[in-house]
Amino acid sequence: MNDQAKKKQINAIKGTKDILPDEIWKWQKLETEARLVFERYGYREIRTPVFEATELFIKGTGSTTDIVTKEMYTFVDKGGRSITLRPEYTPSVVRSIIENRLNLQPQPLRFYFIGPMFRYDKPQKGRYRQFHQIDIEVFGEKDPAIDAEIVEMAKNLLTRMGVTDTDVLVNSVGCQTCRPGYREKLKQKAEESRSRLCPDCQRKIGTNPLRIFDCKVEACKEISIEFPKITDFLCPECDEHFKQFCKYLDAFDISYSIEPSLVRGLDYYTKTTFEFSSRSLGAQDAVLGGGRYDDMMKEFGGPDICGTGFAVGVERLLSIVSVEENQQEWLYLIYLGDEAKSAAMEVARFLRENGVKCLVEYRERSLRNQLSRANKLNAAWVLIIGEDEVKKGTFQLKNMKTAHQDTVTKEEILKHIRRTN
């Protein structure tokens, strides 16, 4: 290695980051809460590989979506197969259900999943190249009550994480019978006002007219207010489904607003779409998003089973959670001298066997120094073992908060610690 190469530090890949010990507790807390909440609603965990055949996402996510056309991590493996790191989760579950014949189990099927996703986006606030999602999916339940139930479940999870200031947006994007007609109508209207729209929106007329509703330019906002809304163009079936969905949301006492521009960037959504957004997140304000995808399974050549679900953006959610770390109390073992060292190791073994978290540091230092260290590391207790203690078979147990100190035997340590817990 030459000098230049030595200097070049190797860093984490752009758009990825380390989750350090000081913050991992938030992740663990969220994962624990998610499992607890989901299992209460009858969901079971499923895990699928991080990479899949590229074709799966082209077919499932949609060949015209941004995700597929420009954001996938795709490579050819040594066997010449085209492989893609999953950019989203739903196609993997659908694949797994078909492949494992899970549809033969009693429906609806309820699954949840926690894991990393990969998208080659340009990183910014709330957007990473490796990011994590917590997903839930339900297959084989057409009733809009289930859509409302998952929204309620989502809200439940957020509340448990101390996040209560989110806005719930809902919409229906219709189905294959009503959406094409609406799209044409919208295009037509937008075309009529083309000259008054910003250049960006003029382009959207051709590519994604629904996105015009999202434009931040005042003029565009005013103009798009008069554009036709999808909710006025739903076919009777979709219309009824959406009305029922809203009715059940009311029954769950969830406040929401109907947002006609909420279309989600994925091609496969039908009927229900929803999103939880937070004002404290910046431009990427969606903490959680989801909806119904009734046609996906069928299009994969699988059974005609409808689906609905949502995904939580873990990094986004964690950036706005307000929960306290629940720190475990632990004991720092101080020894003075060689004999005491062996005794300390023996006591530590005894304590750990009895479920006490304790730390012995192998450094020959003064008592003062070790106490100072225990204090810095935020130990709740200190056990001091010196020559006297070794002779007598008792130890000095000190509570670091109260500075109170007792002379105790090995067995008594357990009682003292439990008493104050």
Partner RNA sequence: GUGAGUGUAGCUCAACUGGUUAGAGCACUGGACUGUGGAUCCAGAGGUUGGGGGUUCGAGACCCCUCACUCACCCCA
SS3 267: coil
Site string for RNA, 214-253 (x = CB under 7 A): xxx-------------------------------------
Q: Which of residues 260-289 bind RNA (CB under 7 A)?
A: 263-266, 275, 282-289
Q: Can you read off the two tokens belonging to residue 7? A: 């200097």
Burial annotation 80-110 (CB, 10 A radius, 16+ → b, else e): eeeebbbbbbbbbbbbbbbeeebbeeeebbb
Any bridge partners for residue 311, and if so which?
Answer: 135, 289
- Contacts with RNA by CB under 7 A: the residue count is 69
Q: Which of residues 126-145 bind RNA (CB under 7 A)?
A: 126-128, 131, 133
Q: Can you read off the two tokens belonging to residue 319? A: 């950036």
Task: Confirm if 150 and 310 have CB atoms less than 8 A apart.
Answer: yes
Q: Which of residues 40-99 bind RNA (CB under 7 A)?
A: 65-67, 71, 88
Q: How far is the CB of 89 from RNA (least distance, A)?
A: 9
Q: How far is the CB of 236 from RNA (least distance, A)?
A: 28
Pick from 151, 306, 312, 348: which binds RNA (CB under 7 A)? Answer: 312
Q: How far is the CB of 12 from RNA (least distance, A)?
A: 7
Q: How far is the CB of 320 from RNA (least distance, A)?
A: 11
What is the C-alpha to C-alpha distance for residues 278 and 281, in angstroms, rounded to an integer?
6
- AA letter at 45: E
Q: How far is the CB of 151 from RNA (least distance, A)?
A: 13
Contact between 389 and RNA per CB under 7 A: yes
Q: To which residue do tokens 């003075």 refer?
A: 336
Pick from 280, 372, 409, 420: which binds RNA (CB under 7 A)? Answer: 372
Could you say which DSSP state residue 127 is in? Answer: B
> What are the residues whose beta carbons fall under 8 Å from the beta carbon of 78, sequence distance 6 or more?
none
Any bridge partners for residue 136, and if so which?
Answer: 112, 310
Nearer to RNA, 96 or 394 (CB): 394
Q: How far is CA 398 from the centre of its chain?
A: 41
Name the nearest CA neighbour of 368 among 356, 358, 382: 382
Pick from 175, 178, 398, 417: which binds RNA (CB under 7 A)? Answer: 398
Contact between 259 and RNA per CB under 7 A: no
Q: To which residue do tokens 């999943």 refer?
A: 113
Nearer to RNA, 121 or 239 (CB): 121
Nearer to RNA, 63 or 369 (CB): 369
Side-chain half-sphere of 98: how many Cα atoms within 13 Å? Answer: 16
- Residues lying near RNA in the complex (CB under 7 A) are found at 3, 7, 11, 14-15, 65-67, 71, 88, 119, 121-128, 131, 133, 200, 204, 207-208, 211, 214-216, 263-266, 275, 282-289, 311-313, 315-316, 336, 365-369, 371-372, 374-376, 384, 386-389, 396, 398, 400-401, 403, 405
